[in-house]
Amino acid sequence: MRHRRGFTLIELLIVVVIIGILAVIAIPKFATSKGSAAMSIMKGDLRNLATAQEGYYGDNNVYYGGALPAPALLYNPSQGVTITVTNADNTGWAATAAYPSITPRTCALFQGSVSPPAPATVEGQVACTP
């Protein structure tokens, strides 16, 4: 009698099925964490914009209201993030952030006496759409 060593076809199929089940569980978790990372990046970009706006105001007595990135404002958003300054004057500013390649959600921040962009409602606090 010869003894064959190795795995049977049934054992190999069971392993493949278990790996498939683990993949089905892990892929949605990865998509959720990718969206959470995008939200953190947008929030951080808006906070960095707030710092840059205060520096610009200190030099010019008005907040920056143009397109970003710009040579006049020492600030660059993260790659893939679109920051739009929706309102800016000498009394305050407002901006929104989007990361369209990752998530449909947006975030907003405003400072001073300007009309807040949705979903921001509290001055100086970043708010994001659900």
Single-letter residue type at 8: T
Domain-located, residue 1? no
Q: Is residue 70 in some structural domain?
A: yes
Count of Cβ atoms closer than 10 Å to residue 72 Cβ: 11
Q: What is the pTM of this model?
A: 0.78
Looking at the structure of the chain, the number of domains it has is 1
Edge to edge, the sheet with strand 82-88 lists 82-88, 92-98, 106-112, 127-128
Which residues make Cβ contacts (< 8 Å) with residue 86, sequence separation at least 6?
Answer: 94, 95, 96, 117
Residue range(s) defining the domain that contains residue 74: 9-128
55, 75 in Cβ contact below 8 A?
no
- Of 110, 83, 125, nearest to 73 by C-alpha is 83
pLDDT in tens, the chain (130 residues): 667 778 889 999 999 999 999 999 888 887 778 889 999 999 999 999 999 999 999 999 999 999 999 999 999 999 999 999 999 999 999 999 999 999 999 999 999 999 999 999 999 999 999 9
